[in-house]
């Protein structure tokens, strides 16, 4: 009781202000959370600006936020990487700068999402098959274990050998970055399914197939979705690496071009964009998790009372 009182007292003034406005508790909570996020980012940006103001951060190398966010249209025109390299196309003919930004974000985001979906489906299926069929396990598991510590970077040439350029190698990179340890994670989740659950199904006459389909798979889904969320950021990292070489456009291309043309402002602008996108996609996946795994209690707040 006392700890709740203490945390109430620690709430920021805006929250009490919002309370007095008569907003619903849920809305108030999300507004407060948004406020804290803004404060956290603002603090980071503020320190950076301060370093610039006292002359420690060289604006040509580490331009502070007000510089790289100050002229968004100017930054946005660099995003038109798709038509930039095409011979005979006037850069002015391409999509407008903002359309180009949207296209770039859409392309990269789609690669991440498609890769994530393929990786999740494939690795859960393979993981279940490995535990289901003893022979399959003996044939496949050693290879998967052997390949799982290989860095995704090492797969980049392979991706280009197999898929050339375009969407395919980037998606392949996302899949390969997640696949191996999601298979291993699936297997360990299967091994951790409560014996009681399985025994209940057995005493009721369930076949092996039924036990897998109706007990084991639903029992492992919650943990797997958490693993997927943790890997989401990994997917965002890998997709940039893939895009920096294999494809015509995408955020990775923008970063690469910014590096080649020595444009720190563009680098930081793109980084800010990627951060925002990663944050949004995590939030999206969390919504999915709440919807699909309705039976899993929310435990995030458990440690907060300490």
Q: Which residues bind another protein (CB under 8 A)?
A: 194, 196-197, 199-206, 210, 214-215, 218-219, 295-297
Residue with tokens 């890997």: 231
CB of 74 to another protein, least distance (A): 52
CB of 218 to another protein, least distance (A): 5
Q: In the complex with another protein, which residue's Cβ is closer, 82 or 224? A: 224
Distances 58 to 64, 181, 198, 199, 277 between C-alpha atoms, Å? 9, 41, 63, 66, 27
CB of 306 to another protein, least distance (A): 23
Q: In the complex with another protein, which residue's Cβ is closer, 188 or 194? A: 194
CB of 223 to another protein, least distance (A): 13
Q: In the complex with another protein, which residue's Cβ is closer, 283 or 294? A: 294
Token pair of 47 as six digits: 């320190």
Distances 208 to 211, 218, 277 between C-alpha atoms, Å? 5, 15, 42
Q: In the complex with another protein, which residue's Cβ is closer, 13 or 291? A: 291
CB of 300 to another protein, least distance (A): 16
CB of 201 to another protein, least distance (A): 7
CA 281 to chain centroid: 6
| CA–CA distance, 128 with 221 (Å, rounded to integer) | 12
Q: In the complex with another protein, which residue's Cβ is closer, 57 or 293? A: 293
Q: In the complex with another protein, which residue's Cβ is closer, 48 or 197? A: 197
Count CB-CB contacts under 10 A for residue 189: 21
| CA–CA distance, 238 with 259 (Å, rounded to integer) | 18
Alpha helices in the chain (DSSP H): 2-10, 13-20, 25-53, 65-68, 72-76, 81-84, 97-132, 134-147, 152-163, 167-191, 195-203, 208-211, 217-246, 251-260, 264-292
Output phi, psi for 191, to 5 deg: -65, -20
Q: Name every residue whose Cβ is closer than 8 Å to that of residue 259 and which is 6 or more positions away in sequence.
A: 267
CB of 302 to another protein, least distance (A): 15
Q: In the complex with another protein, which residue's Cβ is closer, 220 or 235? A: 220
């Amino acid at each position: 009781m006392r700890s709740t009182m203490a945390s109430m007292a620690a709430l920021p003034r805006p929250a009490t202000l919002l309370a007095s406005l008569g907003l619903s508790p849920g809305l108030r909570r999300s507004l407060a959370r948004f406020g804290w996020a803004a404060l956290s980012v603002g603090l980071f940006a503020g320190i950076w600006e301060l370093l610039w103001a006292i002359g420690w951060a060289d604006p040509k190398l580490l331009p502070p936020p007000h510089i790289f966010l100050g002229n968004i249209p100017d930054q946005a025109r660099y995003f038109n990487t798709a038509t930039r390299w095409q011979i005979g196309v006037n850069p002015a003919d391409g999509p407008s700068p903002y359309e180009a930004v949207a296209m770039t974000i859409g392309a990269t985001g789609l690669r991440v999402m498609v890769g994530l979906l393929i990786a999740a489906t494939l690795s859960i299926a393979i993981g279940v098959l490995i535990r289901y069929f003893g022979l399959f396990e003996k044939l496949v598991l050693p290879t998967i274990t052997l390949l799982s510590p290989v860095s995704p970077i090492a797969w980049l040439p392979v991706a280009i050998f197999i898929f050339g350029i375009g969407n395919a190698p980037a998606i392949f990179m996302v899949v390969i970055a997640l696949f191996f340890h999601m298979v291993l994670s699936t297997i360990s989740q299967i091994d951790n399914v409560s014996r009681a659950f399985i025994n209940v199904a057995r005493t009721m006459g369930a076949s092996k197939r039924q036990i897998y389909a109706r007990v084991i798979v639903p029992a492992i889904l919650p943990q797997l979705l958490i693993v997927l969320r943790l890997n989401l950021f990994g997917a965002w990292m890998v997709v940039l690496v893939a895009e920096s070489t294999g494809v015509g456009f995408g955020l990775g291309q923008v970063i690469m071009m910014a590096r080649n043309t020595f444009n720190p402002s563009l680098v930081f602008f793109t980084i800010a964009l990627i951060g925002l996108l990663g944050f949004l996609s995590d939030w999206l996946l969390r919504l999915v998790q709440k919807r699909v795994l309705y039976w899993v209690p929310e435990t995030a707040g458990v440690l907060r009372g300490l």
